[in-house]
Structure formats: C-alpha cells, structure tokens
Structure 1
C-alpha cells in the first residue's frame, strides 16, 4: 500500500511538472532554447539518462540531429552547449523511395508511432549497430529506448524525441520505460509540438514581416542608391548603441535595460525609420548640385554661355568684314582684342556659376550678388528666337542657395519624409510587443531642446530608444561616403561635430557619452567605413 501511495505521489509530481513545462514552453521565443527545454523536460519526467531531439527538415524526408544529452557520460551537444552537432542527417527514404524502416527514429517519423524498446541489444526489428559501436567506444550500455514523434496540429511529424536508459528513481539502475513514462512523454511531445509549431509560425510571420520591411527599403534603394545603405546602416548602429547603453550600470542610464522583445521592437523601428522616403521625389533625395532636378541644369547654362561666345565671335567677324573696304589692321586687332576680353569674361562667369552649383562651401553675400548680377547682365536668344534673361528665376533661386544644394521648399519636401513615416506607421495594427515602433522611428529628427521636427519634442518627452536612433541617424549621415553631395567624414571630424550637437542641445548628452567612451563610434567605423576614415579620436577633446 505504501509503495502504491509513493508511486501515485510520484506520478502526480510528474504531472505537475508536465504542466509547468507546458507553460514554460509556450513562453520561450528562441527556437534553439525551446528545443533544448523540450529534451531536458522529457529526460526529467521519464528519469532518462540520455536523449536526442531530431527536427524534420523542410523537405519532409530528412531528420536532423539538433540536440544530444547523456548525463552519465557528460555529453552535451547542440542547443546552448559549446559543442555543436556533427552527425549526418537521417534520410527517411532511400534513393529509390523505399522507407528507411531499420532506424528507429526514422521509423517513428515515417509511421508517426511511438516505439518503446526494453533492450536495444535484443531488439530484432531495428538496426542498432551504430549504437553498439558507440557503446564499444565509450563503455556505455545503451539499453531502453523510447522514441516519440512530434506532430503538429495538422498531424504532420515535425520532429522526433528519443530517450535512452530510463533509471529507477533515486538510483542509476537502468530499467525499461514504463507505460506511464510513455504516456507522459507522448503528452509532453504533444505540448512540445504545439509550442514548436507556434514558435515556427511566429518566426515565419516575423521573417515575412521583416521581408516586407526589406522590400520597402529595397524600393527606396531602387529609387536612390544613396539612401539604401542608410536604411541598412542606421538600424545596425542603433542596436550597437542600444546594447552599449543596456550594459551601463551607473549614472542616468543605469536603469535602461532591454529584453529580447525590446530588441526586436527597436530593430524593426530602425529598419522602418525612413520608410516615408518612399514618398519623397527622387530628384530631391538625389539632388547632388543646386541646379539638379531630373538632370543637372548647369549644362543648359553652359549652352547659353556657348551661345553668347558664339554671338560675340559672330559680331566680331561681322565688324571685321565691314572693315574690309578700308583695310584697317589696327581696327581689326582692336576688335579681336575686344572679342578675347569678352570671351574671357564669359568664361570666368561660367566657371563661377559652375563652382556655385556644387554647393560645397557657404556662399557669401558677394557671391550671391554676383550670381544675380550675371543673371541680369547677359541676355540670350532662346530656341524660339526671343531675346530673354540669361537665368530664370528658379535658376537664380537655386544658384543663390547659401549652404548645400536644397532650397527651402526642397528642404520641406525632404523633412516631410518623417511626417510620412509617422503617418504610415501609425496606420498599422501593431501587436503589443511592437506598439512603440512609430514613436521610436518617428523621433529621430527631434532635438533634446525641443527645436527638432516634426513635433518639437523635448528630451523628457522622448524615449531612450528614440534618442538612440537620433544619434545613429546623424552619425551615419556624417560618415557615409555614398552621398551625392559630400565625401564621408573621418571619425575625428564627425565626433567633433557630434560633440557640438551635444553642447547645442541637439542630441542626448548621456547617450553620447556612452557612444564615445564605450567606443561604439569606432566599432561601427571598423565595420562600415573606409579605412581612410578611421583616424584617431581624442575623447578628452
């Protein structure tokens, strides 16, 4: 009677353990850790000394070794163990299509049945020669086997759980797996298959979603190859700085920590932070010079200068012909000299406008005045034969841009991308673990002093993640070498500008300290930048 009571109590304990395992499996997000938990849980509730977990490959015809554990031999392979699996896959069918019924794991998968073997050495129906060879090498004695298929909700086998050498509780005596062991293992296998199927389905959905995100970035990349790299690099730098901030144990960021779900959420936000650029006209995104639209209109101005030079030369020749009747060499020489001076002046003005068009340096008041003077001094005969102003009002506006290549209206178009990003992201029905994506992605152009856009948020109104993304976005832009309007800065120059941004209230000072003192800027540089950009940075400066 006492023995029955003890056995019943043991069974109830194992059932309770099984319930706890089911709850634990449903919460695990990592596939590798999930598989390991399944095997370890099965070993625990059946008192097995060893076990192997196989996964069905996508072809549905092959089992792959995923995890192996044998306690008495101290063997741990696959899963979170340092040593990986080095066993070949198990084909379920031969090259002729014949089922591989001689291997017990393959048989369980093919026929979707549980196989309980008391002693492998006396089992006539399966080939255990490999097991015997293993035992001879290690001195082990493989005896009892319990092999259970893992079936998903559609009844398809997605894996096989194999347990070896059940041990009498409290001893190392090897016994056969009991019917209670088998039922518990089958129940666990059912829960495990559901958990694994759900996790695989969620993983596939996440991969599909990330693929759609990649598709958006590809569309932006196809519109402009200058922004495609930005869309990939900013998320990388964002995660590098976030991980560095997560490791801080003192100071204002000591309480900032991320779970795996937090990391995934921030990664998605990073990938989508510029998705609104898909609405930005490509000629504005790629505006490499001041007169660039669908093409660089400086070529039109070049043509006009050539027309003026031609007209000047024709006028000179006509005057020379008029002198032929009186034959005045001195007058002709004077005309030629006058023509050369006119051509030199035209060439100088053309060179000035070409240089102004680049937008590489800040234009002075005198430079802007010269642009306008050139526009008003010359006239030219257009293709319709009409004498007209040399520069149009649009050309005058663009060539007079003080800094960079964008007009105020074009800057508004560029800046609108963040508004479009927020609008697009807020339209999506985000699940709970991704609900902050619009805020993280939409805040990377805000400033700590409230002078940013589009909402004018202050530091206190922004999450740490949005502030991280702001630093990543600026630093990537400063160091990027694929922009049409500038070369990539060296680390020292970029970090001096970043420090100025910190002092001006543009970026978060605490995160910048992490960015600087934990060397995030250099690790990013070593991974993404040209070696010529990797100069020394003095943190004290």
Structure 2
C-alpha cells in the first residue's frame, strides 16, 4: 500500500513539475505551486511568499485555506490585506522570530508539529488569527524556494496536514522531501519566468529608447513612434472585443500581443538612417541650412553692381545722368521683384504653375561676378566632386544654377540586386541627392525632390533589412512583416513591395491605418497645420473607399470608438470637433 502511495505521489510530483515549467502566467504559476503542494501533502491551507525586489521582506502572493474558505491573491482578484513580513527588525537585526522569515534568511526547511507547543518562533499573530476566526493552526511545514544560485527567492508554507479521517496531523518525514522537491521545481519555474519577463522588459525598453531617439531626431515627428503603437493596440483590442462581423473570430494570444507591441514599436526603426534635414526640409533650398541666404547675397551683389555702374557712369560723364539714374532704379526694382519671386518659390506649396517655372528659369540666367576662389575652405568630399577652376577669378556666374557637383553620388554604390531579391518595388535613383538650385526651386509640390522623397521612403526598406537581420525567436517571427507593411495599400499601389490586401496580415493592415491617422492628426509637422478630427476621418473614409486602407478595419475603427479614445488622450482640444459617425459609416 505504501509503495503504491509513493508511486502516486511521484507521479503527481512529475506532473506538477511539467505543469509548472509550461506555465507562463505569473498568477496562475503561483496558484499551481500552492495548490500542488497542498494536494501533495493533504494540507488544509497554505501561503506562498516571494522575496521583495529590495530583498528586505516577504510579500504575500497567495493564501488558501479550505476550512475557512479563504482564497486570496493569485488569480482570485482578491487582495491580501496583510503587510509584507520584514526580514529584519528596525535596528537591522535579522528577523528569526518569525518562522517564514527565518526560513528565507537561512534557506532551511522547518517542520513544526504544533505551533502552540513551540517557543523558538513567535506565533502570536497566528494565535490571534485563530481567536478571531475560531480556527486551530497546528502543524506547519515551511520550505524555501531557491533559485539556481542557491538564493532564497520565496517561501512556501503549508498548514495542518490531514490524514484519511480528515484529522490534523504533523507533516510526515516521507512528505517533506517531496515538498522540497516541488519547491525546487517551483523556484526554477519562477526564476525562469522572471528571467523571461526581465528580458521582455529590457527588450521593450530598448525599443522604446530607439523609438524615442528617432522621434528626438526631429521636433517635427516627435512622438510619432510612440503614438502609432498606441493607435495600433487600440484597434487590435477592438478587433479582439468584436462579437460579430468579420472580426468575431479574431483573437491574440499573450505572445501575439507582445509580438504586436514589438512590431509597432519598431515600425519606423529604419528612420535612424534618414537625415533629419531631409525629414525637416521646410523649404526647397534647405539642406543643413536654408540656401536662400546665398541666393540673397548674389542679388545684393547685383544691386551693388547696379549702383556702382551708375556712379561710375556719372563720374565718367559718358551718359546723361537722368538716363543712368533711371536705369539704376529700374534694375534695382527688377532685382527686388525677382528675388521676392525666388523667395516665394522657395517656400513651396500645393502647386507650382508652368509659367512660374518659366519665369524662374529666366531669372536664373542673369549673371553676377564672383571675385573669390570658390574652392577655398571646402571639405575633402566637396573638393572631390568639384573640378578645378577653369580660369582664375573674377568669374561671371548665373544667379541660379544646377552644377555638376550639386549631384551627390551614392557612396558606396547601392546594391540594387538586394532590392530586387527582397521584392522591393521602389528603386534607388541615379544620385543620392540633387542640390541643384533651379532643380529644387522648380519642385512642383511641396519641398522635396525625387531624391529626397526616395530617401524618406527608403526608411521602410531599411526597416525591413534591419529587422530581417535580427535573430527573432519563433514567437516574434512575424515582427518584420507586421512592422514593415504600414505603407502598403490594399490595391497594391503602396510600397516597398506593392502588396495587396490579401497579401497582408491583419496586424499589418491595422498598423497602416494607425500610421496614417497619426500623421493626419499630428500637430508637430513643419509643412502643415494639424487637421481636425472630422477632416482626418473624412480623408481616411475616402481612402477606405479607394481601397488604400482596409475598409472592414476602418469601419471597426469608426464604430468601436478607437478614434474618440485616441483623440481624448492625444489630440489638442482645438482639433477635436463634431464628428458624424453615422454619415461616415453610411
């Protein structure tokens, strides 16, 4: 009979060990440890403590008592009202008077047959509890939980072992090794869980640092890398909560939630290679600085030359003074007007008409005289791009020009084959940048050249390449796809791969909506005013009709109130206006 009983106990111990090693949820793990120990020892109750992070106390994690019908902590949702057990007295002396603290301090197992007949520990609190509840606390088994370094990380305490007649007995010598073995397995499971949680926390913090550094690069996109994940997770939660419609069966496991959070946090990690002066390019001639100042000085030189020519003519008496003065005034007025026009073109806008481009090119061919060597004070890279002066100054030059050295080559050359191998539809242009003055001033919309636009769009290519280079574990294998598809469109006209709706996962489509909604409502962009909530929703409703974003997800975005929750938390008060959701859904 004893042999059969021992075999059953070992089988239970093995099954408990397997269950503990597989459990990922902290509260469920705590319950399995205590429930398993109670069942194995036939104890009436028990408590599981964990050493606090400061290692100065034992924190109550879960309490169970069958007779008193007590279940607190763990997954019960009921808070344990007792304060932590201090491991040291106020003067710093180790607290060996309490059996649980003594167990944690010494790392030894303590077996007590009757708490009322022992003087080595203070059971006054236990006795007071008994008086209050009518219970009789008698036998105790207190076992340390030690991690792989042999350091106690918790204490498992069982109370009132019972025999087959339900009578309270002492914990037998045969059961103590089994509970110690269970405590050892529990400590390993708990320590592993803590290590995994610590790694996840560290990884999430690292991603947050990356996102923060990307946002910090530019005051105009600050917060984008943190706000997009917020919208994405709100929309994912709405899909999980849906009870009917296309998302009734959608759900995310705990691992998938973590995977989505990681993907959303890394969705723009490729922007670390995007120069901030491209992202922040507020005028057409802007690079590291606004080159309109150079152009202005050329006009100033032309104006001074006009005044000097007039004065020299007056001194020489070669022409009528009135003619000279009139010519000077006309030239100054024309130069003022021409520069005002160039400055206006530099600001950019919605559309630059062909006649404006023609006028700009006519202004460009006007000349000025440079008297200083334009290769003095240049960097090595600039000198490599610029040929030697064909003749010594003075040199007559155009007011505006597109010069060969304005075209900045790719260094090193771009590996186009890599773009093809990854299925990217976008391709690098012939040059990295084109700083030509006429070329930039003739930009028809906005302030970005084709090269600038590619450099910005290329951030998603770099995101893909960076994420694919990381050895993600199986549970995070979809991070590259989820993170790098937020510029794709349902009709296949997006980038970088031109994916269609059927080729994109649901989380990727969620992130596409989140990225657009955040961009439309962002109040920190240099090139536009923040749009109101109603305008943003109208624009995106039109995008849904045109199959640029997922129409089903967009309806969920509207009907579930994700837009409202986001607006309440992130938008300025002046952006939040009246929204007719019924009209948008209709």
TM-score normalised by L of structure 2 = 0.82
Residues 58 and 366 of structure 1: is their aligned pair in 2 closer, same or farther, counting only changes over 3 Å? same
Per the alignment, in what secondary structure is the counterpart of residue 507 of structure 1? coil
Residue 529 of structure 1: how far off its partner (Å):
1.9
Aligned residues of 1:49 and 1:165 also touching (Cα < 8 A) = yes
Residue 204 of structure 1: how far off its partner (Å):
1.8
Note the 1:320-469 alignment, pairs <5 A. 331=322, 335=325, 342-376=331-365, 378-382=366-370, 384=372, 385-393=394-402, 394-469=436-511
Counterpart Cα distance in 2 of 1:21 and 1:229: 46
Q: How many residues align?
A: 529
Residue 84 of structure 1: how far off its partner (Å):
2.9
Match of 2:86 in 1: 91
Instruction: Say if 2:203 is the partner of 1:209.
Output: yes
Instruction: Say if 2:189 is the partner of 1:195.
Output: yes
Residue 434 of structure 1: how far off its partner (Å):
0.8
Match of 2:514 in 1: 472
Per the alignment, in what secondary structure is the counterpart of residue 232 of structure 1? helix
Per the alignment, in what secondary structure is the counterpart of residue 252 of structure 1? helix
Aligned residues of 2:313 and 2:319 also touching (Cα < 8 A) = no
Match of 2:103 among 108, 112, 116: 108
Structure 2 residues without counterparts, runs of 5 or longer: 373-393, 403-435
Aligned residues of 2:229 and 2:265 also touching (Cα < 8 A) = yes
Note the 1:245-264 alignment, pairs <5 A. 245-264=239-258
Report which stretch shifted further, 196-205 or 357-366: 357-366
Note the 1:167-186 alignment, pairs <5 A. 167-168=162-163, 171=166, 173-186=167-180
Counterpart Cα distance in 2 of 1:312 and 1:180: 110
Residues 349 and 504 of structure 1: is their aligned pair in 2 closer, same or farther, counting only changes over 3 Å? farther
Counterpart Cα distance in 2 of 1:221 and 1:535: 27
Aligned residues of 1:217 and 1:228 also touching (Cα < 8 A) = no
Residues 320 and 119 of structure 1: is their aligned pair in 2 closer, same or farther, counting only changes over 3 Å? farther
Counterpart Cα distance in 2 of 1:39 and 1:383: 89
Counterpart Cα distance in 2 of 1:324 and 1:388: 27
Match of 2:125 among 92, 113, 130: 130
Aligned residues of 2:56 and 2:88 also touching (Cα < 8 A) = yes
Match of 1:240 in 2: 234
Structure 1 residues without counterparts, runs of 5 or longer: none
Instruction: Say if 2:295 is the partner of 1:282.
Output: no
CA distances 1:187-238 after superposition (whole Å, capped 9, x unpaired): 2211111111111111222223223323433442443344452122212211
Whichever structure has more helix as a proportion of its residues is 1
Counterpart Cα distance in 1 of 2:20 and 2:197: 15
CA distances 1:385-414 after superposition (whole Å, capped 9, x unpaired): 433211222122212212222111111111
Residues 302 and 134 of structure 1: is their aligned pair in 2 closer, same or farther, counting only changes over 3 Å? farther
Counterpart Cα distance in 2 of 1:459 and 1:271: 22
Residues 379 and 57 of structure 1: is their aligned pair in 2 closer, same or farther, counting only changes over 3 Å? same
Aligned residues of 1:360 and 1:485 also touching (Cα < 8 A) = no
Counterpart Cα distance in 2 of 1:352 and 1:49: 90
Counterpart Cα distance in 2 of 1:141 and 1:312: 109
CA distances 1:515-537 after superposition (whole Å, capped 9, x unpaired): 11111122122222222212222
Residues 247 and 402 of structure 1: is their aligned pair in 2 closer, same or farther, counting only changes over 3 Å? same
Counterpart Cα distance in 2 of 1:217 and 1:181: 53
Report which stretch shifted further, 478-487 or 381-390: 381-390
Residue 343 of structure 1: how far off its partner (Å):
4.3
